[in-house]
Amino acid sequence: MAKPSLHHPEPAHAEQQYIGKPVIQYRSERSCVGIRTVTPFKGMFAVVDQLLKELRVWLKAQGATDARPFFLRLHVIDMNGPMDIEVGCLVPEPFPGDERVRPGVLPAGQYASLRYSRYALRANRALLDWAKQEGLVWDRWDAPTGDGFRCRYEAYLTDYRLEPRKSVWEVELSIKLSDDFPGGAPLAGDGRAE
């Protein structure tokens, strides 16, 4: 069995189901590659699983077998309609893509985040509620098809090669705060992102 690297340690909570405490962290711009699509929320996770497999095969063919973590990025959210999503992976430096897998970045800035295992909807609600209580302002806008986010994603911290059961993966949920942080007006609400 492969050992986890220092850059990608295995989670301390691998078998636990939990929602961690929210934190605010500055993150530098990070290069990534990903496959973007629009899909209804119902059935979205089957699409995510399919795209994760496709992206892993593509990265392996490119010789980028150690790229990670993989992530699910939510560009535009409408829980009752189409979700504009991207399944991606961080890469150590800018990486060329193709017509299907596109290069991109997770932008620099302050992010509110928390870690969880299993409880995705509860974890999202916990982070949204905490941010509202703290008066934080997301880097978001009202898009014609839902709530648009500059950068909202869930990074899969557990190495899928060591633990195939997604139900015990450790996930880090992160949402970019407005560039005006700290300060600014309190969150206006969560709209369709609830």
Residue 28 has pLDDT above 90, yes or no: yes
pLDDT above 80 (res 166): yes
Confidence check: pLDDT of 188 > 50: no
Residue 6's pLDDT band (boundaries 50, 70, 90)? very low
Residue spans of the domains in the chain: they are 18-193
Max CA distance (Å), the chain: 50
Question: Which percentage of the chain shows pLDDT scores above 90?
Answer: 70
For the full predicted model, state whether its pTM sits above 0.75.
yes
Angstrom distance (rounded) from CA 52 to CA 156: 11
Q: What mean pLDDT comes out for the span 96-121?
A: 95
pLDDT single digits (tens) 35-67 = 999 999 999 999 999 999 999 999 999 998 778
CA–CA separation, 187 vs 178, rounded Å? Answer: 10
CA 73, CA 36: separation in Å to the nearest integer? 9
Structural domain 18-193, CATH architecture: Alpha-Beta Barrel (3.20)
List of E strands, the chain:
18-19, 23-27, 30-40, 70-77, 82-90, 102-106, 109-117, 140-143, 146-149, 152-156, 170-176
Query: By percentage, how much of the chain surpasses pLDDT 70?
Result: 85
3-state secondary structure of 113: strand
Q: What is the pLDDT of residue 38?
A: 97
Q: What Rg, from alpha-carbon coordinates, does the chain have?
A: 16
pLDDT for res 65: 79
pLDDT of amino acid 66:
77
Q: What is the mean pLDDT of the chain?
A: 86
Summarised one tens digit per residue, pLDDT across range 131-142 is 999 999 999 999
Q: Could you tell me if 173 and 111 are in contact, meaning their C-beta atoms sit under 8 angstroms apart?
A: no
Is 9's pLDDT higher than 60?
no
Query: Does residue 82 register a pLDDT over 80?
Result: yes
pLDDT recorded at residue 5: 32
